[in-house]
Structure 1
Amino acid sequence: MRRFDDEDLTGAEFRECDLSRARMVGVVMRDTEIDGLVTNLVVNGVEVMPYVEAELDRRHPVRLLIRSDQPDDLREAWRHLRDDWATTTERVRSMPANSEHHGVDGEWSMVETLRHLVFVHDSWFRRCVLGLTEPFTALGLGPPAVMEREDELDPSAAPSLDEVLAVRVRQASEIETWLAEVTPEQLARTAPVPDDERWPPYAKGRTVRRCLGTVLDEEWAHHRFCRRDLDKLAHPIRPPHRRPRPD
């Protein structure tokens, strides 16, 4: 176990780190931002995640639909998600040229985010929900380790927004067609994940509903991140002016 005693971590950034069972004692945390899979977070003796989750549900009612086991709710959730992305696409087209290719604070740009969702669809819907073994879409963007091991994925791809959206339209049609006929019984079945070691290998044994839930969760979460970053691009925060120190 690594231990930090009396360390000044002001401005530190922890990216893709596992902080499970971390203890922070006597720390000072001001203007701190946490994004990730957070559960059982206790702050000063109070489990705060139920409050966080309740507030997110209040702000984003679509989350309640995403967690439902009823096909009608899942269909409605998908419509909300598609409408949200359509609105955000219209927004980025009205922003300065190439805004869709600009990332913020080391995060993916909007185009990169959409490329990741192309990959999510191929892996979690086509492979896990439908049981297909077809190649991944070349412009899809997965985690670095996946980009290295899956030959069909092209790490050098640099598609335009319209090129990625064209793929997204085809993928959306697949989900909508499937959702239109799905039943609760089908959702409860074990997902027909192909018996190989391709991504995602840990999906075996999960239900169809759970695999679909990953697709919907990713759509919602990454839309939130994308909208957050477009806000920052539209209204950049300038660093405070510092008066020169006297000699």
Structure 2
Amino acid sequence: MRRFDDEDLTGAEFRECDLSRARMVGVVMQDAEIDGLVTSLVVNGVEVMPYVEAELDRRHPVRLLIRSDRPADLREAWRQLRDDWATTTERVRSMPENSEHRGVDGEWSMVETLRHLVFVHDTWFRRCVLGLTEPFTAMGLGPPDVMDRKEDGLDRSARPSLDEVLAVRSRQASEIEAWLAEVTADQLTQTAPVPDDDRWPPYATGRTVRKCLGTVLDEEWAHHGFCKRDLDKLTRQHSPQG
């Protein structure tokens, strides 16, 4: 365990770090930002995550649909997520040229974000929900160790345009929509037919179909939020006062 005593961490950035069971005692934390998988966060003796989750649900009612076990709710959640991405796509087309390829603060650009969602679809839907074993879409963007596995089909050198990624996304969306139109509540509770091999994701075996689909929907919602956040920052940079 690492311990930091009387350290000045002003402006520090922790990226892809595991801070589970971290204790911060007597700290000064002003204008701080936490973005990630956070559960059971106690601040000055108060468990704050129930308040955070309730506020997120209030701001984004689609989250309630994403957590539902009813096929009709899941279909509506997918429709709303697709509509949100369509609106954001229209927005980026109206921004300065190449905005879709610009990242902010070390984050993925919009195109890179969409490429990651292509990968999410291939892994958590096609592979885990449908049980398919074919290679992943070449333009998909996954973890570094997966990108280096040539047998998985990913192309680290891929530099697709926004329209090229959107074309793949459209095909994938049609695939989910057709499946959601037929799936039953009972089918959602069944164990996902994850192929028995060493391909991504490594921790899906034993999960239900519903759980695997939930990962797809959660990723769609979360990454859309990240994308909007970064486009807001780009817009401020391009404004006369930026």
**TM-score of the alignment, normalized to the shorter chain, above 0.5:** yes
Letter aligned with residue 45 of structure 2: G
Partner of 2:233: 232
The CA distance in 2 between the partners of 1:188 and 1:172, in whole Å, is 22
Matched, 1:212 2:213: yes
The CA distance in 1 between the partners of 2:202 and 2:103, in whole Å, is 29
TM-score, with structure 2 as normaliser:
0.97
Partner of 1:242: none
Partner of 1:3: 3
Identity across the alignment (%): 86
Partner of 1:98: 98
Residue 148 of structure 1: how far off its partner (Å): 1.6
Please list the CA deviations of residues 218-243 of structure 1 after superposition, one character each: whole Å capped at 9, or x if unmatched: 000000000000000001399xxxxx
Partner of 2:20: 20
Higher-Rg structure is 1
Please list the CA deviations of residues 41-60 of structure 1 after superposition, one character each: whole Å capped at 9, or x if unmatched: 00000000000000000000
Residues matched between the structures, number: 238
Matched, 1:129 2:110: no
Residue 150 of structure 1: how far off its partner (Å): 4.8
Residue 33 of structure 1: how far off its partner (Å): 0.7
Residue 147 of structure 1: how far off its partner (Å): 1.0
Letter aligned with residue 32 of structure 2: T
Question: 3-state DSSP class of the match of 1:189?
Answer: coil
Partner of 2:59: 59
The CA distance in 2 between the partners of 1:123 and 1:26, in whole Å, is 43
148-157 or 73-82, larger mean C-alpha shift: 148-157
Matched, 1:148 2:148: yes
Question: 3-state DSSP class of the match of 1:129?
Answer: coil
Aligned ranges 1:117-196 → 2 under 5 Å: 117-151=117-151, 152-196=153-197
Partner of 1:35: 35
Question: 3-state DSSP class of the match of 1:203?
Answer: coil
Letter aligned with residue 127 of structure 1: R
TM-score, with structure 1 as normaliser:
0.95
The CA distance in 1 between the partners of 2:105 and 2:98, in whole Å, is 17
- Which 4+ runs in 1 deviate beyond 6 A? none
Residue 201 of structure 1: how far off its partner (Å): 1.5
The CA distance in 2 between the partners of 1:66 and 1:199, in whole Å, is 23
Aligned ranges 1:99-118 → 2 under 5 Å: 99-118=99-118
Structure 2, unpaired ranges of 5+: none
229-238 or 134-143, larger mean C-alpha shift: 229-238
